Amino acid sequence: MDMNLNGKTALVTGAGRGIGLAVVRALTAEGAHVVAAARTVTPELAATGATPVVVDLSDPAGAGHVVACATAERGGVDILVNNVGGGDGGLSGGFLDVTDAQWAEVVDLNFLAAVRVTRAALPALLATRGAIVNVSSIGARVPHGGPIPYTTAKAALTAFGKALSEEFGPRGVRVNTVSPGPVRTAMWESPTGYGAELAESMGIPHADLLAGIPAAMGMLIDRFVEPEEVAALVTYLASPLAAATTGADHIIDGGSVKTA
């Protein structure tokens, strides 16, 4: 299906791997010019043909820098995908184990980075009557399903998208949220990621934890969600085909969340 994105300019954060990399690939395949923000330009990102911008979005100055690069490169921005996130390492304990510094780091990366990038990009998006897609998590709806700072920050991100849609929808900017369940990314699969830490805390092999996650989370598809599946939804929401869709939170979790 042609998403009518040929020639559009998209800014994607957290683009080096996982969901962000899949989104970059999906948008470029549709003919969009992608400015890809990442801490590190991975070989996989370089191979997409996107314009990479090396930036640390936990630095407050990073948002203005990456948006300035995007507008200088293309003269405007049609699509913003706020995907940067993570910071869940070392958080397999409970609430009383989390320090102020860890709270600040996780909230900054998963919520405030999107706030800053959106604020910097909105003048350009208003000019093009563009679209914003925020990548949140089902942890915003089932906060016991991950580290408490992470799920709390994602809940804030989901509410942020709804509030933005109310304010800027009448001015032509659509805002939607995509909330994945467990996705086959480094967060779960890396030997140093959250999944490995969780397995260690439970006293079980990492492979056994991964094999049991779909059933444990009530998924109906017996597997993790693929990054490309999330990217396809993001691409659709960013496209003119979704012109009447705004202010919504779209769950892609294999049926894990049982409520509307």
With beta carbons less than 8 A apart as the criterion, state whether 13 and 37 touch.
yes
> Would you state the pLDDT for residue 187?
85
Here the CATH number for the domain that contains residue 141 is 3.40.50.720
The answer to whether residues 238 and 216 belong to one domain is no
4/222 Cα distance (integer angstroms): 33
Judge if 112 and 213 occupy the same domain. no
CA distance 52 to 55: 9
| All residues at 6 or more sequence positions from 127 whose CB lies less than 8 Å from its CB, including other chains | 76
Give a yes or no: residue 260 inside a domain. Answer: no
- Tell me: do 51 and 177 sit in the same domain: yes
Q: Are residues 161 and 66 in the same domain?
A: yes
Question: Hunting for tokens 């009383």 — which residue is that?
Answer: 96
Both 174 and 190 in one domain: the answer is: no
Backbone dihedral angles phi then psi of residue 254, each to the nearest 5 degrees:
65, 25
How confident is the model at residue 74, as a pLDDT?
81
Q: What is the pLDDT of residue 90?
A: 67
Measured distance CA(248)–CA(178) in Å, rounded: 8
- At 115-147, the pLDDT tens digits run 999 999 999 999 999 999 999 999 999 877 678
Which domain, by its residues, includes 112? Answer: 9-181+226-251
Active site residues per annotation: 150
Position 103 scores a pLDDT of 94
Give the tens place of pLDDT for each residue, 70-89: 999 888 999 999 999 986 66
Q: Do residues 152 and 216 both lie within one domain?
A: no
Q: What is the pLDDT of residue 1?
A: 81
- Statement to judge: residues 164 and 82 lie in one domain: yes
Question: Do both 87 and 213 map to the same domain?
Answer: no
- Ramachandran angles phi, psi of 98, nearest 5°: -95, 125
pLDDT at residue 171 in the model: 98
Residue 131 and residue 127: Cα distance in Å, rounded? 11
69 plus 190 within the same structural domain? no
Predicted pLDDT at 118: 98
Give me the pLDDT at residue 207, please.
Answer: 95
Number of domains the chain is built from: 2
Q: What is the pLDDT along the chain (260 residues), one digit of tens a residue?
A: 899 999 999 999 999 999 999 999 999 999 999 999 999 999 999 999 999 999 999 999 999 999 999 999 888 999 999 999 986 666 767 889 899 999 999 999 999 999 999 999 999 999 999 999 999 999 999 877 678 899 999 999 999 999 999 999 999 999 999 999 999 998 899 998 888 988 998 999 999 999 999 999 999 999 999 999 999 999 999 999 999 999 999 999 999 999 86
Task: Of 60, 65, 58, 61, give the one whose Cα is nearest residue 35.
Answer: 65
